[in-house]
């Protein structure tokens, strides 16, 4: 493992480099999604502001998971480069996207839809940073042939453990592809805004909930880790959003259907009236 890269007097953290790479990959996905939807918005600003807000949220959420340790030495922990929480990144990014939606005069759900595939890709690439740096995000010991040890990691271990960052990277790519295909159906305006975001909450929540069973995080809520509890909230929120969108869709289509029927009936009656006034032959 390579937690740091030394270039002369310069020392670069591999985790930070991969997080930056994740943001770059997310930028290209976001820009492509904006283009296919015909939305005129600045992808660079969206990624930059959302990325920074997500990192800040991830850091604060991680610190507040152990408030006693944080308040014992707040300044050192606040500016440490270790310790980020996925659900905090979701909260921080969500707040930023809501503000950006107002700036660009977009529907909030549409902005969240556009950002969802990009967020999945960025998260997956960032997880490779956890793998390379060996920051302790690995799993429990395993005898499987792809088990890995991290003797030189930031949180070293000589045991062969589950490389959970790889699992999460692969899951993130699958989720991003799925969300992109769901978004394709919305490009023509046939699907409601918010559907992609709803599936994002469900898919990422399920993936994180499952991987936590082989992670080394401490348990708190009913034998679950904090990340699993947050993942459960994410899945429920996503499911409720999709149900709400499903119930609203028929109501939105019904008036248009009635108007179409009325117009069709009027069109059918007009030729009949015209024929009635024609002279008999």
Length, in residues, of the chain: 281
Residue 217: what are its φ and ψ, rounded to 5°?
-70, 145
Residue 211 to residue 207: CA distance in whole angstroms: 6
pLDDT of residue 211: 94
pTM for this predicted structure: 0.80
Average pLDDT of the chain is 82
pLDDT of residue 257: 44
How confident is residue 270, by pLDDT bands cut at 50, 70 and 90? very low
User: Quick check: 254 pLDDT over 70?
Assistant: no
Domain edges within the chain: 4-249
User: pLDDT: is 217 or 192 the higher one?
Assistant: 192
134 neighbors 16 (Cβ within 8 angstroms): no
For 74-89, give the DSSP string: HHHHHT-S----HHHH
What is the per-residue pLDDT across 32-62, written as a single tens digit (0 to 9) for each? 999 999 888 899 999 999 988 888 887 777 6
Average pLDDT over residues 251-255: 49
How confident is residue 113, by pLDDT bands cut at 50, 70 and 90? very high
User: Quick check: 269 pLDDT over 50?
Assistant: no
User: Quick check: 160 pLDDT over 90?
Assistant: yes
Residue 243 to residue 170: CA distance in whole angstroms: 28
pLDDT of residue 268: 46
């Amino acid at each position: 493992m390579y937690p740091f890269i030394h270039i002369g007097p310069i020392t670069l953290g591999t985790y930070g480099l991969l997080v930056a790479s994740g943001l770059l990959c997310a930028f290209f996905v976001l820009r492509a999604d904006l283009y296919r939807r015909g939305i005129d918005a600045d992808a660079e600003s969206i990624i930059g502001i959302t990325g920074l807000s997500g990192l800040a949220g991830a850091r604060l959420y991680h610190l507040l998971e152990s408030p006693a340790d944080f308040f014992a030495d707040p300044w050192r922990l606040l500016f440490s480069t270790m310790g980020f929480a996925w659900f905090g990144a979701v909260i921080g990014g969500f707040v930023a996207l809501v503000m950006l939606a107002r700036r660009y005069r977009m529907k909030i759900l549409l902005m969240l839809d556009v950002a969802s595939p990009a967020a999945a890709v960025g998260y997956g690439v960032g997880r490779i940073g956890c793998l390379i740096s060996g920051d302790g995000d690995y799993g429990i010991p395993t005898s499987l042939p792809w088990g890995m040890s991290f003797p030189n990691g930031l949180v070293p271990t000589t045991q062969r453990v589950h490389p959970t960052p790889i699992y999460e990277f692969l899951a993130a790519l699958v989720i991003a592809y799925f969300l992109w295909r769901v978004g394709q159906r919305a490009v023509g305006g046939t699907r409601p805004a918010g559907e992609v975001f709803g599936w994002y909450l469900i898919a990422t929540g399920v993936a994180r909930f499952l991987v936590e069973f082989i992670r080394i995080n401490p348990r708190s809520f009913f034998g679950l880790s904090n990340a699993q509890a947050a993942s459960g909230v994410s899945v429920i929120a996503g499911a409720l959003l999709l149900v709400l969108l499903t119930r609203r869709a028929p109501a939105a289509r019904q008036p248009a259907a009635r108007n179409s029927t009325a117009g069709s009936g009027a069109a059918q009656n007009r030729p009949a009236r015209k024929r009635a006034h024609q002279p008999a032959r």
